[in-house]
Structure 1
Amino acid sequence: MQNFSASPRELVASLYRNRSLVRALIKREVIGRYRGSFMGLLWSFLNPIFMLAVYTFVFSFVFKARWSVDSDSKAEFALVLFSGLMVFNIFSDCINRSPSLIISNVNYVKKVVFPLEILPWVTIGASLFHAAISLIVWIVAYGVFFGEPSISIIFLPLVILPLVFFIVGLSWGIASLGVYLRDVAQFIGIVVTTMMFVSPIFYPATALPEEYRKFLYMNPLTPAIEQVRDVLFWGRIPDFKLLAIYTIISMFIAFGGFAWFQKTRKGFADVL
């Protein structure tokens, strides 16, 4: 039986070695989502525009929601909310699909030469593409309501990078478990829905009493959401100390998930 390296070096080497294949599969994934539709990729722009309009109307005009007590801007809440949802959507899109990542690609499992370990990279690559489209919509909306975005937006890739490693690490682990335990998909759906409400998406972290706020920061999505808002909307530079800690933890999760995937993939063909 073939042995698969589970070393951190192989994690990087595999991505680099198969970079052309990853790009091709991401392109196929993005195009395939809208295959057969009349407007095709145009939907990737229309969806975030529609959602941003809905959030603005519902929260600003119906509920009269405000992110801060000293602001009466109708657009502020919608843009702050939408920036948090962009982060969550990357997470939810990848994690919800992880349990079926191997099951839905049985033909790849039967091919010994196919690098199964790149599938989570393909999923997150497609999710990042759609997040980039949402970001363009967000920037245009910000420009309409508030003017030119802050220069701090250049730190956005640096803030998102730890989240990418965190999600990929989880995806490797969940994808492997999904092969052996089919109930994982149902459980993950519940977890992702719960994460949406226990993450500071619809409310600021400061809305919680200080004694409970530490539990909110145990949520791995909280640092990403808060820092994305800082660099996008509030014009602040990232908290580099928090970012460094988050990056280190995310790298450990990525290496752990990759090692688990490589160790357990030997049995995929037998189960499927």
Structure 2
Amino acid sequence: MTLDFGRVIHRNLALIREMVLRDIKGGHAGHGLGSLWVYAQPIVVVGTYMLIFGVVIGSRMTVTASFPGDYTSYILVGLTPWLLMSNALGRATNAFSSNANLVKQVVFPIETLPVATVMACFVIYAPTFALMVSYKFFFGAGLGWAALALPLVLGLHGLLCIGLTLLLSVTTPFLRDIREFVTIYMSVSMYFTPAIYLPDWVPAALRPLLYFNPFSYVVWVYQDTLFFGEIRHGFAWIMFAAMAIGAFLAGLTMFRRVKPYLGNVL
């Protein structure tokens, strides 16, 4: 099952590339700056959070002695992967619904649609990730040895996004309310993710909510990799890997079962 999916994706890499380019360029045809607007939006959002929380609020906060670097880089390292995840899941619910004409074509490899959706998000956020790494390297406390694990982290992150996108994209045509649920959940989830604050700042009674939020583990892994420069959240790495593999296998299983019926409900 997994090998078949991989073969389809490998055979259609050129098609996925074209779909990603169409996704990025399509919505800004005729604009003066063209597809640059796609890259500007996440940078502006991250920059705004850095200004408000890192500069304005951060200047009035005191961090612990074990806190390396500055609060601004902490926000940047935690917020960037969360925003990418939020963007990917927001697009996931429409991966098949917005391409109904392609799904109904018998010969079209619809496996490429969720993969192209995730790849487009990674391409869009590539400049923001470059800003995150550069800022930490030049203005933070530098990068530690754990930064060598960044390719692995990005790979697991991509696998997690593809798995969740498969799950959401194949269930949304049958349960349309999922789209609204995902929108609300991602809006609320951010405030229960330790991306813009330290877990120690959360009252003890509410701190378990951080561990119930699966996206907290994603943020902790990125913080270990790029902010702390060492593994401080070992359990988060295990959870992150388990979530990535589990979500991908669950999404692939659901996709295989639902695929024959997608064309009938779209």
TM-score bracket, normalised by the shorter chain, equals 0.7 to 0.9
TM (norm. structure 1) is 0.84
Aligned residues: 265
Corresponding residue for 1:130?
124
Q: Is the 8 A contact 1:166 1:254 kept in 2?
A: yes
Q: Return the offset for 1:100.
A: 1.7
1:92 corresponds, among 83, 86, 89, to: 86
Corresponding residue for 1:196?
190
Does 2:96 align with 1:68? Answer: no
SS of alignment partner, residue 94 of structure 1: helix
The amino acid that maps onto 1:129 is V
Q: Is the 8 A contact 2:221 2:236 kept in 1?
A: no
Q: Is the 8 A contact 1:44 1:133 kept in 2?
A: no
1:139 corresponds, among 133, 138, 141, to: 133
CA distance in 1, matches of 2:240, 2:138: 33
Distance 1:67 1:92, change over 3 A: farther
Distance 1:105 1:8, change over 3 A: same
SS of alignment partner, residue 40 of structure 1: coil
Q: Is the 8 A contact 2:28 2:34 kept in 1?
A: yes
CA distance in 1, matches of 2:239, 2:54: 35
1:149-174, Cα deviation, whole Å (9 max, x unpaired): 44532311212322222221121121
Distance 1:56 1:197, change over 3 A: closer
SS of alignment partner, residue 221 of structure 2: helix
2:224 corresponds, among 217, 220, 230, to: 230
The amino acid that maps onto 1:137 is L
The amino acid that maps onto 1:17 is R
Mean Cα displacement is larger for which, 161-170 or 114-123?
161-170
CA distance in 1, matches of 2:211, 2:116: 29
Does 2:247 align with 1:265? Answer: no
CA distance in 1, matches of 2:163, 2:91: 14
RMSD, aligned α-carbons: 2.8
